[in-house]
Amino acid sequence: MTTLTLITGANRGIGLEFCRQSLAHGDTVIACCRQPEQADALQQLALSHPNQLELVALELGEPAQFDNLCAYLGERKLDRLICNAGVYGPKGLPLGEYQADHFEQVMKINVTAPMLLVQALHPHLAGDAKVALLSSKMGSITDNGSGGSYVYRASKAALNAIGKSLAIDLQPQGTSVVLFHPGWVQTAMGGSNALITPEVSVRGMRHVLEQLSLIDSGKFINYDGVELPW
């Protein structure tokens, strides 16, 4: 049986690389992004992987769309759910200039959306499914040695709290949950000075996912498998 993998933010960056490597591994991939018709790299992958890649429109800021996604899945069960999409919000904003609305979109996409998506999809998870939530070391309170980035840090710390609860609540149905720091990755978000390529980051995270069992569920793990402090 082929592995059924759903990926959010699949059109670029780390999500696109998850698609590439999952397809190369033989998975059937449901690639979610806001505008599939404009997702050129995914369209190319669909051509080279006929019958293996499904493109689905999904705006994570509109949780009503999650019901459509459940209807689209029907009786099919997901083996892997990669909640990858995220936004950074204001960069380099000094203390004194933050406004309430700086938080709204980032919290909606980085926190509310993955929580409600997993909630919606959890009846559609296979017995031994694995859920990956793309967090960040910026969400580690222990690791925060430089301050700033209030919005992004807060969103990923909140996502970590959500992932821990999901791991506990989904344990009885056999689902493992992992919170990933993907490394500092060369994407639009990570920038060109980032230390690793999406290929290296995703190869590492996929390896961790393959090894992941219920015993490790709810951990915060670097792309190379090293456990991180909250």
Ligand X SMILES: NC(=O)c1ccc[n+]([C@@H]2O[C@H](COP(=O)([O-])OP(=O)(O)OC[C@H]3O[C@@H](n4cnc5c(N)ncnc54)[C@H](OP(=O)(O)O)[C@@H]3O)[C@@H](O)[C@H]2O)c1
d(C-alpha 148, C-alpha 138), whole Å: 10
Among 5, 15, 162, 205, binds ligand X (CB under 6 A): 15
Q: Does 187 bind ligand X (CB under 6 A)?
A: yes
Among 136, 140, 175, 217, binds ligand X (CB under 6 A): 136
60 vs 126 by CB, closer to ligand X: 60
Q: Of the ranges 22-30, 40-48, 78-86, 171-179, which one interacts with ligand X (CB under 6 A)?
A: 78-86
Q: Does 120 bind ligand X (CB under 6 A)?
A: no
Number of neighbours of residue 73 by Cβ within 10 angstroms: 17
Burial class (CB in 10 A: 0-12, 13-18, 19+), 78: buried
Q: Residue 177: beta bridge partners?
A: 131
How many residues belong to the site for ligand X (CB under 6 A)?
28
Among 4, 19, 42, 60, binds ligand X (CB under 6 A): 60
Nearest to 123 by CA among 82, 70, 193, 87: 70
Could you tell me the two tokens for 173?
């149905």
Q: Per DSSP, which regions of the chain are E strands?
A: 4-8, 28-33, 53-57, 78-83, 125-134, 176-181, 219-222
78 vs 205 by CB, closer to ligand X: 205
Q: Does 13 bind ligand X (CB under 6 A)?
A: yes
Question: Which residues in the 142-181 window bind ligand X by CB under 6 A?
Answer: 181
Which stretches of the chain bind ligand X, using CB under 6 A?
A: 9, 11-15, 33-34, 58-61, 84-87, 109, 134, 136, 181-182, 184-185, 187-190, 194
